[in-house]
Amino acid sequence: MSRRGTARFLAAALIFGPLSLSGTSVAVGQTQTLQQKLQHVKQLVAANKQQLARYTWQMQETVSVRGDVKTQPLYQVHLGPSGTPEKTIVSQSPSSASPRFGIRRRMEENYKQYAQQVGSLAKSYAQLDPATLQKLYVQGDVRLKSGGSPGYSTVVLSNYLKPGDSIVLTMRDNPRGLVTVNVSSYLSSPSDIVTMQVSYAKLADGTQYASTVTVNGESKNLTITDQSSHFQLK
């Protein structure tokens, strides 16, 4: 290489070299931030489960179709040995006590079965599994959503249970805590959409809980709303 060519090469290296290194440091910084936020999610989920295990509480569930309330049971709830909620019915408030026959009865049975499927799917998303979260991170299915409110972070998970589903978790950075969880999924096919919105609240001792959970089965205009209250130490 001639002296002139060497000079041009060195000049290019001086110009573009720092830019390349800067880009690498940004990528590394973003990866480290994402790892930290995912670790925060795991810690919050584990801490909330451990703290809630000390409590029993009531949950009012409302099942409605096109805004018409079908059932409204009240449950007593606690976390079982596996860490999943166990419910005991306290009271039942049906919208109508009159018996149904023929096509009306079949329609109600279809809605009941559909509500069970939707509720079961929502339950699968309600208990986030730390091992699955780590697996999604390794696969590249975890990312930070940009443009959020100052003091808050949003982590987006893809393909958690089904291909194409998503979970969007919004956290408060300081003091650290979950704010909302929004799930977009489906039953047998992507056209049979099911969504879930979870809002979190905090007890006096700092224990976080899902205060309101709203699940929508869009194909049948079904809505299941769970509201938790009356927490008591065991």
User: Rounded mean pLDDT of 174-202?
Assistant: 95
- Answer whether residue 68 is part of any domain: yes
Rounded CA-CA distance 50/53 in Å is 5
In a domain, 2, yes or no: no
Residue 86's φ and ψ, nearest 5 degrees, are -115, 130
95 near 112, Cβ under 8 Å? no
> How many domains does the chain divide into?
1
In a domain, 28, yes or no: yes
pLDDT class of 104 with cuts at 50, 70, 90: low
Residue 164 covered by a domain: yes
Q: Establish if 50 belongs to a structural domain.
A: yes
pTM of the model: 0.81
Q: Please report whether residue 72 resides in a domain.
A: yes
Nearest-5° Cα angle at 226, 169 to 210? 35
pLDDT in tens, 20-72: 334 444 344 567 789 999 999 999 988 889 999 999 999 999 999 999 998 99
Task: Work out the pLDDT band at 18, boundaries 50, 70, 90.
Answer: very low
Please give the residue range of the domain that contains residue 160: 10-233
**pLDDT of 127 over the 90 cut:** no
